[in-house]
Structure 1
Amino acid sequence: MEMTILGCSGSLASPDNAASGYLLRMSDGQRILVDIGPGVLARLQVHDRPGDVHMVFSHLHPDHCLDFPSLAVWQRYHPTDAATRRHTLLGPSIAPVHLGRASADRLEDVDDFSDIFDMVTWSAPTEGPVAFPDPAYTEHRIGDARLYAAPAVHPTESYLMRIEDADGSSLVYSGDTAATPHLAAVATGADVLLCEATWGERDNGNNPPQMHLSGEEAGQAAAEAGVGRLVLTHIPPWGDVEGALRGARRFYDGPVEVAVPDMVVTPGL
């Protein structure tokens, strides 16, 4: 597995950084795009073929999904790179209606993406937390890749996800979440934890509740899970990058770095 960071700006795009979007190239040749916020489709055109990607969503806030209607246009109508098969779209249960309304011609309509995507809904443990692996986690497949979800803490239907490749590598992505024991549980022993650190070093107590993580909380989850590497992401343009690093390193003594556009991460190496 290889991950290219197309965008990692938190909550909105910045002048030199798209919002959330991560391209995974799997060992069997499948390409999986995880989230597609504003600016991500343009960066995807630099790195790969938009006509041949599967789509996975952590949740459907605008900074994680707004480029999807344009991806659908590309896969339907591009003269040389339209989709030649139906790809998987894996996401929250609200995805067909939420995304369909964003792409429809009239307010009352819902665009049907079944011509280009097989729409699949995440299934996650309803109790827990449960350390991975465990039968509580439902396996979803895209080619040879195995994907699992756990519930996140966020105002909309949101998921933490674990992606395992046939080559044995593993990546866990927090999406957007407040602190939850489900994060360390699903990340148990993972090669890489790609974790949001929106609040910088620590939550100052004035931020909206049940929304995001700080660097300290990301470091705590990484340490508890015993992951091999921590990559901090989703820091907004006004965010405290150095503070997020300090907070994470206070609790996690493994490799810690901050995501930047075009960065390539290879779990397991």
Structure 2
Amino acid sequence: MRLVVVGCAGSYPGPDAACAAYLVQAEDADGRTWTVLLDLGNGALGPLQRYADPTTLDAIGISHLHADHVADMVVLNVLRRYRPGGAPLPPVPVHGPEGTAERLAQLAGKDPAADCSDQFDVRVWDPAAPVTVGPLTLSPVAMNHSLPTFGVRVAGPAEGDASRSVALAYTGDTDSGPGLDALAAGVDLLLAEASYLEGRDDRFRGVHLTGRRAGEAAARGGAGRLVLTHVPAWNDAEVSLAEARAVFDGPVHLAAPGAVHAL
């Protein structure tokens, strides 16, 4: 199993990165590659096309309905629907919070294709019902954000050793809390947002993590490694990195567009 960072900017696209979009891929016993897309925020459809065919995704998971995590779903609908000469595509399963279909229609406005139901089979995350996509199992966990948000824990075969199972966890947007701790427990890789900075943003709670709080979650959960993401362009990412390294002894990396993290 591997994680491919497509977009990792926080809150708005930065000069060098689109907003949140991550591919999780794994091969099954027959050698077929399965591809799950987690989030598709502002500007992310462009770079997505470097790493995967947007018409052959096996499933899409949406953490929450802020534009920096879902906006480019609207133009993915356009690409799938109107590409010249292509045969009709079966709708791709899209898992998201309550209201996902309505949010996509809202973003599409008065476009005649605002009803995306022929392209997206929208389903509501249920923490009691993990989702199976080929060799991958996606388990949603309710998080601590300003609107309903799900982190996603993904279990699947290890890269190069299908007999061994590994797990990664993607926080979406969240602050510390029981959901984050449950998500991070025992994972090989924790992909955690780090939008805020210690000291500057202390008065804002229940919205985002700092690098330090992401590192503390990784340490409490015994994560194998930590990848910080969703760092806004107005932050110094090296400060977030230092905050995390001060409290977590394992490897800590900054998410970067195009980076591949094998598990």
Normalising by the residue count of structure 1, what TM-score does the alignment of the two structures yield? 0.87
The CA distance in 1 between the partners of 2:38 and 2:250, in whole Å, is 25
Aligned to 2:133: 142
- Find 2:155's aligned residue among 154, 164, 173: 164
| 3-state secondary structure, aligned to 2:243 | helix
2:98 maps to a residue whose letter is S
The alignment of Structure 1 onto Structure 2 pairs a total of residues equal to 252
Q: Answer yes or no: is the 8 Å Cα contact 2:171–2:183 preserved in 1.
A: no
1:104 Cα deviation after fit: 4.3
**5+ residue gaps in structure 2?**
none
**5+ residue gaps in structure 1?**
125-136
| 3-state secondary structure, aligned to 2:138 | strand
Q: Is structure 2 residue 102 aligned with structure 1 residue 105?
A: no
Aligned to 1:60: 65
Q: Is structure 2 residue 2 aligned with structure 1 residue 6?
A: no
1:157 Cα deviation after fit: 1.2
The CA distance in 1 between the partners of 2:153 and 2:199, in whole Å, is 25
- Over 3 Å counting, the alpha-carbon distance change for 1:251 and 1:61 in structure 2 is same
- Over 3 Å counting, the alpha-carbon distance change for 1:169 and 1:66 in structure 2 is same
- Over 3 Å counting, the alpha-carbon distance change for 1:51 and 1:246 in structure 2 is same
1:117 maps to a residue whose letter is F
| 3-state secondary structure, aligned to 1:98 | helix
The CA distance in 1 between the partners of 2:215 and 2:200, in whole Å, is 17
Q: Is structure 2 residue 70 aligned with structure 1 residue 74?
A: no
Identity %: 36
1:16 Cα deviation after fit: 1.3
The CA distance in 2 between the partners of 1:110 and 1:149, in whole Å, is 29
Q: Answer yes or no: is the 8 Å Cα contact 1:231–1:257 preserved in 2.
A: yes
Q: Answer yes or no: is the 8 Å Cα contact 1:27–1:165 preserved in 2.
A: no
| 3-state secondary structure, aligned to 1:5 | strand
Q: Is structure 2 residue 260 aligned with structure 1 residue 247?
A: no
2:122 maps to a residue whose letter is M
2:110 maps to a residue whose letter is D
- Over 3 Å counting, the alpha-carbon distance change for 1:82 and 1:101 in structure 2 is farther
| 3-state secondary structure, aligned to 1:33 | strand
Q: Answer yes or no: is the 8 Å Cα contact 2:8–2:20 preserved in 1.
A: yes
Q: Answer yes or no: is the 8 Å Cα contact 1:203–1:214 preserved in 2.
A: no
Aligned to 1:50: 54
Cα deviations by residue, 1:235-266 (Å, 9 ceiling, x for unpaired): 10011212211111121101101111111111
Aligned to 1:117: 120
| 3-state secondary structure, aligned to 2:173 | coil
| 3-state secondary structure, aligned to 1:30 | strand
- Find 1:182's aligned residue among 175, 179, 202: 179
The CA distance in 1 between the partners of 2:178 and 2:42, in whole Å, is 30
Q: Which moved more, 1:165-174 or 1:30-39?
A: 165-174
1:207 Cα deviation after fit: 5.0
1:122 Cα deviation after fit: 0.8
Cα deviations by residue, 1:189-211 (Å, 9 ceiling, x for unpaired): 111000011113x2534553321
- Over 3 Å counting, the alpha-carbon distance change for 1:116 and 1:123 in structure 2 is same
The CA distance in 1 between the partners of 2:47 and 2:93, in whole Å, is 21
1:111 Cα deviation after fit: 3.2
- Over 3 Å counting, the alpha-carbon distance change for 1:49 and 1:170 in structure 2 is same
The CA distance in 1 between the partners of 2:77 and 2:71, in whole Å, is 11
- Over 3 Å counting, the alpha-carbon distance change for 1:203 and 1:55 in structure 2 is farther
- Find 1:92's aligned residue among 89, 97, 104: 97
